[in-house]
């Protein structure tokens, strides 16, 4: 017999056996409280002198934080709250001791907590954020699987750079070099020709030597790519997608968002249509508050915050200058200084969540771009085949999982949105 805390409501009045870890203990005279955590939830187990096993009552003081235990008792409604059940406990059995658990309820520094990430994950807020992440990923899969997309996994070892060479992670591949994937996009372009609508979801790598609250070295990205979609179709897809995933997480992860003390108001407004601004309009907005901004440059985090503060929904910025974007971006046929790229910024200053655009589909233009960007043509020979054999207009985007989790959870740093973060200066534990 074995029961989970999340299922207690099914067993009112019945005897259950729970296995988990000691979250907290309290006692006052004739009554002792054990807060038990089993991964599915936390419940209060109440030991009442005279009603529980005598030995359990006397040995209660042996229980220490994060010790693993087995508890048996009877389920009853906790009348102080709605839908909360507690256990009138009979006894407990120690499974594994936990002397001097390092994370106490007092405040700890971030470095200390990051060094103990493997234990920190047991804490309420960390647990909640990772559950939100899991729901988000499920929502992402459901959205695309339900919309005729085929999942096409992209490789991690790659022969060439997708997002420029400055933050490439080089590694040995037997006697050759390889790079850890910065993006699955180029492979999704091949997949779009094979499947029409394709997406990948997996880890990607950027050797960024900077410590910011938005950058990880290893982060997860979902990348849809659709044959015959133009820039505007791409924005429409991104809008429907983001509305779906945000509303789904808000609906299914209410308890977790409450633990995280997330204000749901801004999230409930994440419903299409989202505002769309041309890069030039975005520059106007920025310049009013940051007169030093140089037209033609990429946005810094503070510039993105200025733009997003003007709207209460996520906002698309499209048509970035060609010069600051990757080699594969298609130039605007009306004005080659700008390209058919688009970023989506989250609300409340969460910054860029999505980057994407319409891809260059002309073989010769693409060949020139590869040269101009200092890339080696032979590395992209396979990619150029996609323009040699049935070239087609196509678009796609990448959404960063960790930034999206940070936004939905209202967390100020991406390090708490992935179970074991890899950051500049940290790959432990």
Does 396 sit near Mg ion (CB under 5 A)?
A: no
The least distance separating ligand 4AD from the CB of residue 203, rounded to whole angstroms, comes to 11
* x/- letters, 305..344, toward Mg ion (CB under 5 A): ----------------------------------------
What residues are paired with 426 via a beta bridge? 423
* x/- letters, 354..373, toward ligand 4AD (CB under 6 A): xxx-----------------
What residues are paired with 45 via a beta bridge? 34, 87
Do residues 237 and 229 lie in contact, with contact meaning Cβ atoms separated by under 8 Å?
yes
Among residues 35, 51, 66, 208, which is the contact residue for ligand 4AD, using CB under 6 A? Answer: 208
193, 374, 412 from 379: Cα distances, Å? 20, 12, 39
The least distance separating Mg ion from the CB of residue 400, rounded to whole angstroms, comes to 9
Residue keyed to tokens 């089993």: 38
The least distance separating ligand 4AD from the CB of residue 163, rounded to whole angstroms, comes to 5
End-to-end alpha-carbon separation of the chain, Å? 35
Does 355 sit near Mg ion (CB under 5 A)?
A: yes
Nearest-5° Cα angle at 221, 158 to 166: 50
Does 353 sit near ligand 4AD (CB under 6 A)?
A: yes
Residue 258 CB: number of other CB atoms within 10 A?
11
The least distance separating ligand 4AD from the CB of residue 241, rounded to whole angstroms, comes to 13
Residue 237 CB: number of other CB atoms within 10 A?
22
The least distance separating ligand 4AD from the CB of residue 171, rounded to whole angstroms, comes to 18
| 85 touches, from Mg ion, ligand 4AD, none (C-beta below 5 to 8 Å by class) | none
46, 78, 416 from 20: Cα distances, Å? 15, 20, 23
Q: How far apart (Å, rounded) are the C-alpha atoms in residues 399 and 224?
A: 9
Q: Which residue sits closest to Mg ion, CB atoms considered?
A: 355
Q: Which stretch binds Mg ion (CB under 5 A): 124-132, 177-185, 241-249, 347-355?
A: 347-355
Site for ligand 4AD in 214-233 (CB under 6 A): 215-216, 219, 221, 223
Does 338 sit near ligand 4AD (CB under 6 A)?
A: no
Q: How far apart (Å, rounded) are the C-alpha atoms in residues 49 and 93?
A: 17
* x/- letters, 124..143, toward ligand 4AD (CB under 6 A): --------------------
The least distance separating ligand 4AD from the CB of residue 191, rounded to whole angstroms, comes to 11
Residue 347 CB: number of other CB atoms within 10 A?
20
Please say which residue, 39 or 321, places its beta carbon nearer to ligand 4AD.
321
Please say which residue, 314 or 400, places its beta carbon nearer to ligand 4AD.
400
Helix (H, G, I), strand (E, B) or coil at 114: helix
Residue keyed to tokens 């936004």: 407
The tokens describing 242, both together, are 């983001």
Q: Going along 268-334, which residue ranges are E strands?
A: 276-278, 315-318, 331-332
For residue 273, cis peptide bond before it (omega within 30 degrees of 0): yes
Please say which residue, 73 or 357, places its beta carbon nearer to ligand 4AD.
357
The least distance separating ligand 4AD from the CB of residue 219, rounded to whole angstroms, comes to 4
Please say which residue, 102 or 419, places its beta carbon nearer to ligand 4AD.
419
Please say which residue, 220 or 244, places its beta carbon nearer to ligand 4AD.
220
Size of the site for ligand 4AD (CB under 6 A): 23
Element (H, E) at 43: strand 42-48
Point out which residues bind Mg ion (CB under 5 A): 355
């Amino acid at each position: 017999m074995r029961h989970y805390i999340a299922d207690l409501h099914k067993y009112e009045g019945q005897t259950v056996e729970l296995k988990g870890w000691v979250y907290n203990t309290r006692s006052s005279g004739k009554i002792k409280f054990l807060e038990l955590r089993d991964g599915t939830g936390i419940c209060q187990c109440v030991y009442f002198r005279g009603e529980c096993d005598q030995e359990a009552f006397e040995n209660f003081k042996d229980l220490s934080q994060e010790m693993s235990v087995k508890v048996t008792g009877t389920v009853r409604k906790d009348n102080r709250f709605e839908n909360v059940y507690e256990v009138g406990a009979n006894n407990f059995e120690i499974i594994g001791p936990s002397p001097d658990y390092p994370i106490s309820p007092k405040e700890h520094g971030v470095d200390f907590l990051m060094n103990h990430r493997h234990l920190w994950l047991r804490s309420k807020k960390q647990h909640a954020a990772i559950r939100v992440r899991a729901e988000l990923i499920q929502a992402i899969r459901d959205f695309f699987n339900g919309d005729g997309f085929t999942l096409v996994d992209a490789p991690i070892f790659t022969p060439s750079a997708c997002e420029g060479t400055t933050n490439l992670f080089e590694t040995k591949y037997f006697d050759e070099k390889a790079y850890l994937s910065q993006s699955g996009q180029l492979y999704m372009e091949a997949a779009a020709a094979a499947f029409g609508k394709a997406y990948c979801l997996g880890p990607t790598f950027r050797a960024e030597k900077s410590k910011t609250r938005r950058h990880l070295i290893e982060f997860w990205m979902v990348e849809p790519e659709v044959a015959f979609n133009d820039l505007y179709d791409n924005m429409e897809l991104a809008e429907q997608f983001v509305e779906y995933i945000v509303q789904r997480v808000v609906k299914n992860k209410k308890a977790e968002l409450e633990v995280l003390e997330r204000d749901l108001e801004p999230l409930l407004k994440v419903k299409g249509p989202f505002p769309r601004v041309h890069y030039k309009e975005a520059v106007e907005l920025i310049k009013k508050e940051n007169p030093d901004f140089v037209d033609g440059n990429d946005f810094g985090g503070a510039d993105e915050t200025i733009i997003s503060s003007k709207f209460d929904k996520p906002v698309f910025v499209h048509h970035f200058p060609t010069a600051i974007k990757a080699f594969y971006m298609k130039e605007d046929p009306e004005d080659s200084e700008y390209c058919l790229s688009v970023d989506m910024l989250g609300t409340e200053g969460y910054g860029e969540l999505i980057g994407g655009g319409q891809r260059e589909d002309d073989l010769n233009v693409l060949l020139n771009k590869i040269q101009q960007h200092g890339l080696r043509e032979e590395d992209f020979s396979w990619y150029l085949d996609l323009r040699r054999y049935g070239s087609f207009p196509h678009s796609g985007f990448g959404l960063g999982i960790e930034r999206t989790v940070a936004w939905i959870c209202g967390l100020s740093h991406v390090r708490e949105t992935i179970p074991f973060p890899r950051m500049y200066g940290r790959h432990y534990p």
